[in-house]
Structure 1
Amino acid sequence: MSDFIQLHVLTSYPASNLNRDDLGRPKSVVMGNTTRLRISSQCLKRAWRTSDIFQNIGAEHVGIRTREMGRYIFKALTEGCTLNEALAGKAGGSLATVKEKDAVAIARAMAGVFGKLKAEYKPKKDDKAEAARTQREESLEIEQLAHFSQEEVNAVAALTETCRTGGKAPAKEQLALLRKDIKTVDIAMFGRMLAAEKAFNVEAAVQVAHAMTVHPVTVDDDFFTAVDDLNRDDSGAGHMGVSEFGAGIFYLYLCIDRGLLKHNLQGDTELTNRALAALLQAVAQVSPSGKQNSFGSRAYASYILAERGNDQPRNLSVAYLDGVSKKQNIMQEAIKLLTETRANMNTVYGQTFESAEINTLTGSGSLKELAAFIAG
């Protein structure tokens, strides 16, 4: 079995602001002494793992990333519903309820298994009821996001029902909620770190680079106005604002350790292949959600080069240090530079990666064939 799968992806986005910085501007990076647009790997992974494509793998194989599990345990206990009903946003239920004070103790005990909790709420005489409830529920949150496998969610749900019956916080031996034998695709791919419980950490099998444009880009300003429909004298705009955006062809690189992915999925070959197919489809077809209502900038990849082999992986972004010339068809030139750089790398380092590609400019290859290739 080949150890590594590499994907080199070129996607052209029209006017867009897919991934913003703290000032609302499209993220950028300086490369080759020129400014390029950038989409962070965190943004891309979030778009992929929450897409319908990943959900179609099966709910039992997709995790939940949250710091609010304690809130939902509390909701389930105080509103008489199961944990899964609480997570689904269903209000109320027919099950027995637990006093709020006891529910807080139960929720903190269970949520604390997955990370350090926020400070415990200590009521004061002058606290108003609503403010007190808000602060009490905030104390149930984990300080950092935790990634729960479905097996762990099921374990939390079962212990919630046990505690509902007894009305008391679980004993220490009941709090063995973390699981090693999980089959959660997004955790297997992108990893999990639990600083306090290192034995349950998962090393990421998929490395994702930040996507960046293959050419220099200038961020533009869109001055816009909105009309007040009831302003009948047409005296001016009801609202004015500025939105920043950019456009370009983005190069994206992924490196997949197929052996590690299979290991993370408990040796399940069939699930590993389904996960790889879902990742490829998401990479090719899913766009980040940022400002989509304003720009409608959904795009499919125009070119994907997949490589498979045991040699040391390498990112091919060096192909775009000088930026693609605007004199030619930019996408064609970007593909040419990428394939030439790959060929030169293979010659110099004696690398023997097998390869396959899809190219929408020429209509060659298919996503189905590429999925079969990376499955090995």
Structure 2
Amino acid sequence: MSKNLYLDINILQTVPSSNINRDDTGSPKTAIYGGVTRSRVSSQSWKRAIRLGFQEDSRDAKWLKGFRTLKGVQLLIKKIQELDNTISDDDALERAKAVFAAAGIKLKKDKDTGKYLTGALFLISNGQLEKIAKIVLDSDGIDKETGKEIKKALMEEQSLDLALFGRMVADNPDLNVDASSQVAHAISTHEITPEFDFYTAVDDVKKEGSSGSAMLGTIEYNSSTLYRYANVNVLDLMHNLGNEDLTLEGIKLFIKEFIMTMPTGKENTFANKTLPQYVMVNVRDDTPVNLVSAFETPVESKGGYVQKSINRLKDEYNRTLKYVDKPAFDIELADSDKKIVDEQAKSVTDLIDQTAEFIKRELNNEDSND
């Protein structure tokens, strides 16, 4: 296929008092942008929420299940013994260790548990585990040819999170997987002021006549209207997943989870789960475009930020048309008075279905032209 195909997702979402993504001191993450302090939620935090969303939706779909873990050896042992329950624990361990050695991935023995761990988090799919376990059980040992099969298996049967977010393997760069998606750090469209909640807890079984609190402390929080952005290189995703049907299903799931999920930091304290106020999806054939520059000058308001942020986003969208082609496909989900593009979705499901249908037509058109 010769033509590029990029999916852009732009979201505005207002979040009340919250601390959904903390730094090392427990404070909400922030960023300086346009000379002022913004609320920030890291891309890693939101990707984690998306991955958990995939797992909740996975049912029995092996291609949706990925594990980012130090305990790949234990996962492989479990899979080997699932396929052949006559394999002893010691035998399964030795075979699993041999697999990681053949793949060029170093292991270390945990001092406390005695378990073998990878030196860094390693992302492996359920499909890869099953394929490698079958290779191990079908072979008499891990020779050079079997080692090649194992390395090949670690590049196939990719889970959706692996195909989207990629994998870096310092021990063996041959096992690296290029990400087909980029997720930006979400930032507020406006300046924020950090706030502090002083809280106390009273002992319900305290001595009669005594006063004071059994516990007290402070927690930092803020509230904000966030601009969120992510993109997908459709052809790279199809390369990683291996076929068109999985690619289209993966795109639908990614759009859904990016819209609907939220990091869970301090959610029991603040009950801050909200839904977006505005969603715009673009499909482009030239380059992905992050519209965050709409908010380089912070939005100022005493009557809410959402509508002014949508107006800014609209201006920025129109400004970019001086530099890039108009998207091949635009659709938005918003109230009727918040329009930026002409195509309106009736629901999240409608937005997802229309986007996937357009991408499917584009892929089919290119196939017919090859």
Task: Answer yes or no: same fold by TM over 0.5.
Answer: yes
The answer to whether the 8 Å contact 2:10/2:228 transfers is yes
2:43 is matched with which residue: 41, 44, 51?
A: 41
Alignment match, 1:370: 351
The offset of 1:309, in angstroms, is 1.7
Hey, what's the Cα distance between the residues in 1 that align with 2:165 and 2:72?
Answer: 20
TM-score using structure 1 length: 0.82
The offset of 1:192, in angstroms, is 1.5
1:246 is matched with which residue: 175, 197, 222?
A: 222
Aligned with 2:249: secondary structure? Answer: helix
Aligned with 1:193: secondary structure? Answer: coil
Note if 1:63 corresponds to 2:44: no
Hey, what's the Cα distance between the residues in 2 that align with 1:215 and 1:230?
Answer: 46
The answer to whether the 8 Å contact 1:115/1:144 transfers is no
The answer to whether the 8 Å contact 1:311/1:352 transfers is no
Hey, what's the Cα distance between the residues in 1 that align with 2:194 and 2:336?
Answer: 27
The answer to whether the 8 Å contact 1:111/1:141 transfers is no
- Code of the residue aligned with 1:36 in structure 2: it is R
Structure 1, gaps ≥5 residues long:
86-92, 122-131
The offset of 1:173, in angstroms, is 4.3
The answer to whether the 8 Å contact 2:80/2:92 transfers is no
The offset of 1:350, in angstroms, is 4.9
Note if 1:195 corresponds to 2:170: yes
1:230 is matched with which residue: 205, 216, 223?
A: 205
Note if 1:307 corresponds to 2:282: yes
Instruction: Rate the CA distance shift 1:35–1:84 in 2: closer, same or farther, 3 A.
Output: farther
Instruction: For residues 13-39 of structure 1, give each alpha carbon's deviation from its aligned partner in whole angstroms, at most 9, with x where no partner exists.
Output: 111111111111111100011000111
Alignment match, 1:126: none
Instruction: Rate the CA distance shift 1:264–1:119 in 2: closer, same or farther, 3 A.
Output: closer
The offset of 1:97, in angstroms, is 3.0
Alignment match, 1:125: none
Note if 1:97 corresponds to 2:88: yes
Structure 2, gaps ≥5 residues long:
339-343, 359-370
2:241 is matched with which residue: 265, 269, 288?
A: 265
- Code of the residue aligned with 2:349 in structure 1: it is K
Note if 1:289 corresponds to 2:252: no
Q: What root-mean-square deviation, in Å, do the aligned CA atoms of Structure 1 and Structure 2 show?
A: 2.8
The offset of 1:343, in angstroms, is 0.5
Hey, what's the Cα distance between the residues in 1 that align with 2:65 and 2:89?
Answer: 30
Alignment match, 1:331: 306
The answer to whether the 8 Å contact 1:73/1:160 transfers is no
Hey, what's the Cα distance between the residues in 2 that align with 1:59 and 1:227?
Answer: 48
Instruction: For residues 346-366 of structure 1, give each alpha carbon's deviation from its aligned partner in whole angstroms, at most 9, with x where no partner exists.
Output: 1x2252113110015759622
The answer to whether the 8 Å contact 2:279/2:332 transfers is yes
1:144 is matched with which residue: 113, 120, 123?
A: 120
Instruction: Rate the CA distance shift 1:27–1:57 in 2: closer, same or farther, 3 A.
Output: farther
The answer to whether the 8 Å contact 2:76/2:129 transfers is no
The answer to whether the 8 Å contact 1:72/1:83 transfers is no
* Residue range with higher mean Cα deviation, 105-114 or 149-158: 105-114
The offset of 1:110, in angstroms, is 2.7
Hey, what's the Cα distance between the residues in 1 that align with 2:180 and 2:233?
Answer: 5
The answer to whether the 8 Å contact 2:4/2:286 transfers is no
Hey, what's the Cα distance between the residues in 2 that align with 1:231 and 1:162?
Answer: 66
Instruction: For residues 307-343 of structure 1, give each alpha carbon's deviation from its aligned partner in whole angstroms, at most 9, with x where no partner exists.
Output: 1121222211111112111144310000010011110
Hey, what's the Cα distance between the residues in 1 that align with 2:86 and 2:60?
Answer: 32
- Code of the residue aligned with 1:145 in structure 2: it is L
Alignment match, 2:364: none
Instruction: Rate the CA distance shift 1:43–1:17 in 2: closer, same or farther, 3 A.
Output: same
The answer to whether the 8 Å contact 2:72/2:124 transfers is no
The answer to whether the 8 Å contact 1:302/1:361 transfers is no
The answer to whether the 8 Å contact 2:169/2:175 transfers is yes
The offset of 1:170, in angstroms, is 4.5
The answer to whether the 8 Å contact 1:53/1:281 transfers is no
Instruction: For residues 226-252 of structure 1, give each alpha carbon's deviation from its aligned partner in whole angstroms, at most 9, with x where no partner exists.
Output: 222221425221211211111101101
Alignment match, 2:323: 349
Alignment match, 1:215: 190
Hey, what's the Cα distance between the residues in 1 that align with 2:86 and 2:26?
Answer: 46
Hey, what's the Cα distance between the residues in 2 that align with 1:362 and 1:95?
Answer: 65
Instruction: Rate the CA distance shift 1:184–1:335 in 2: closer, same or farther, 3 A.
Output: same
The offset of 1:208, in angstroms, is 0.8
Hey, what's the Cα distance between the residues in 1 that align with 2:324 and 2:125?
Answer: 41
Hey, what's the Cα distance between the residues in 2 that align with 1:227 and 1:159?
Answer: 60
The offset of 1:282, in angstroms, is 0.8
Hey, what's the Cα distance between the residues in 1 that align with 2:101 and 2:303?
Answer: 58
Aligned with 1:301: secondary structure? Answer: coil
The answer to whether the 8 Å contact 2:106/2:171 transfers is no
Hey, what's the Cα distance between the residues in 1 that align with 2:19 and 2:354?
Answer: 33
The answer to whether the 8 Å contact 2:187/2:227 transfers is yes
Instruction: Rate the CA distance shift 1:294–1:120 in 2: closer, same or farther, 3 A.
Output: closer
TM-score using structure 2 length: 0.83
